[in-house]
């Protein structure tokens, strides 16, 4: 127990078990032990402990870490409030009273937030790596499908032709923004709170800059009250997980639709699909469905912590120990989803034969036709109306624009001539795009080259 001197009775056993966060914050054991080693070095530097005591304490901390890694030591949440008290108890068993010297000038309040910041920096970096891998996988697929034409949609209605590569690159852009947000979390987490104590620092001559350098923090927290009570970096981490899962969920929705018999666009590998307990013919995109479904839990984790913090006065409050279960859960779901998405995406086979046949019987090139009229000098408003009438004619006669003859076109409007026929050629539609960021194969190849260089 890290406290108890002013109490005359032992804490109720039910209370201890209810209040214990050990099952959650044991995930911070590596960061806790690293902090303990560096803190002991600093205490030796300022003369609070001797060099002999430093060796004793750090050797014991190494042993605790090894015991935990080998499952020799498993602290019981019915005995300990948290990972801090569990480590200190074991440290006492190994070193005796010397263990108590490690607490000089240090509170659980600044300990836990230091370890949590270290964990957030490490974990945000790991997710960035997973996103980078996923982007590379998408780029490899995009490179194979620069001229694979598929319908682009707005309002889930066919809008204009795009390439599969262009569609995939849209997600590469999303993933890049996810990485930028994670970089901001790393930057926000990179301030050292250790030395702030419980609320107002210490009268001991603690060397905060020594701690900052040895624990690899960029700067010190400026205000001890804010240092121990700030969880904005946790909320921002959760926000990154939420937006990232939202992006994966959108992608999963498309993969699920694309894999249906009605679309006939993709086949997901057997290793990332499941069957039905009743219907022998079924091949279900369960991985995509589960990622889409688990996004809801990640969203609720964000809401949980921001709601947790909204009514807390300065500075530290015990409520804050409830920040870890949602944080760790969101990290686990998001990181595993990224790994599974990369694995699943690499098994997908694309075949746009069916979609191409549908597009050739459609009016998906109506906007291209309107632009053709604009180049003939027709105001776009009037061009829009002319092509609208053309679309109505196609619908009534069950034809695509590509099926129309010059005679039929001139019945709609005499301005049409032979040159419009080329506009209705679906295969050349992407090459006509003029604006950067469009699915013109020239621009798409430039984007792929840029991404390959940046990601490698």
Q: How far apart are CA 341 and CA 344, in angstroms?
A: 5
Query: What amino acid positions are annotated as catalytic residues?
Result: 155, 276
CA torsion angle 312 315 318 322 (round to 10) = 60
Q: How far apart are CA 127 and CA 193, in angstroms?
A: 24
CB-count burial class (<10 Å; 0-12, 13-18, 19+) for 15: exposed
Q: Kind and range of the H or E element at 45?
A: helix 29-45
Q: How far apart are CA 190 and CA 220, in angstroms?
A: 8
Structure tokens at 57: 């304490």
CA torsion angle 364 370 375 380 (round to 10) = -150
Q: How far apart are CA 100 and CA 92, in angstroms?
A: 7
Per-position DSSP letters for 240-293, written without gaps between them: HHHHHHHHHHHHHHHHHHHTSTTT--EE--GGG-B--SS-TT--B-HHHHHHHH
Q: How far apart are CA 251 and CA 256, in angstroms?
A: 9
Query: Which residue, among 77, 70, 88, has the nearest Cα to 25 in the 3D structure?
Result: 77
What is the DSSP-derived secondary structure letter of residue 438?
S
Give phi and psi for 296, each to the nearest 5.
Answer: -60, -40
Q: How far apart are CA 104 and CA 54, in angstroms?
A: 13
Give phi and psi for 6, each to the nearest 5.
Answer: -90, 5
């Amino acid at each position: 127990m890290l406290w108890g001197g002013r109490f005359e009775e032992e804490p109720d056993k039910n209370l201890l078990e209810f209040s214990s966060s050990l099952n959650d914050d044991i995930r911070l054991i590596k960061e806790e032990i690293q902090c303990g080693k560096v803190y002991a070095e600093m205490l030796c530097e300022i003369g609070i402990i001797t060099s002999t005591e430093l060796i004793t304490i750090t050797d014991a901390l190494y042993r605790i870490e090894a015991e935990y890694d080998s499952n020799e030591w498993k602290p019981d949440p019915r005995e300990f409030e948290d990972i801090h008290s569990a480590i200190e108890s074991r440290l006492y068993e190994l070193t005796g009273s010397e263990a108590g010297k490690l607490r000089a000038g240090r509170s659980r309040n600044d300990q836990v937030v230091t370890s949590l910041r270290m964990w957030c920096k490490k974990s945000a970096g790991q997710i960035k790596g997973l996103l980078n891998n996923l982007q590379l996988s998408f780029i490899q697929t995009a490179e194979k499908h620069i001229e694979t034409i598929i319908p682009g949609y707005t309002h889930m209605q066919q809008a204009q032709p795009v390439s599969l590569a262009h569609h995939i690159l849209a997600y590469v852009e999303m993933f890049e923004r996810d990485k930028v947000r994670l970089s901001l979390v790393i930057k926000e987490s990179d301030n050292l709170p250790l030395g702030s104590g419980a609320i107002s620092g210490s009268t001991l001559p603690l060397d905060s800059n020594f701690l900052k350098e040895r624990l690899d923090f960029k700067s010190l927290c400026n205000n001890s009250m804010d240092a121990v009570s700030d969880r904005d970096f946790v909320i921002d981490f959760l926000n990154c997980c939420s937006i990232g899962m939202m992006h994966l969920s959108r992608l999963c929705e498309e993969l699920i639709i694309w894999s249906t018999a009605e679309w006939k666009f993709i086949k997901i590998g057997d290793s990332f699909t499941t069957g039905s307990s009743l219907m022998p013919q079924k091949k279900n995109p369960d991985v995509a469905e589960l990622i889409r479904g688990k996004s809801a839990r990640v969203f609720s984790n964000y809401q949980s912590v921001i709601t947790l913090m909204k009514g807390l006065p300065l500075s530290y409050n015990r409520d804050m120990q409830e920040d870890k279960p949602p944080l760790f859960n969101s990290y686990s779901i998001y990181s595993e989803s990224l790994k599974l998405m990369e694995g699943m995406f690499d098994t997908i086979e694309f075949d746009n034969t069916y979609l191409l046949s549908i597009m050739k019987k459609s009016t998906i090139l109506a906007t291209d036709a309107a632009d053709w009229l604009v180049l003939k000098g027709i105001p776009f408003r009037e061009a829009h109306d002319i092509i609208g009438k053309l679309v109505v004619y196609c619908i009534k006669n069950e034809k695509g624009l590509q099926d129309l003859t010059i005679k039929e076109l001139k019945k709609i409007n005499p301005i049409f001539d032979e040159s419009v026929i080329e506009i209705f050629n679906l295969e050349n539609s992407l090459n006509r795009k003029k604006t950067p960021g469009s699915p013109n194969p020239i621009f798409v190849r430039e984007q792929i080259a840029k991404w390959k260089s940046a990601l490698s």
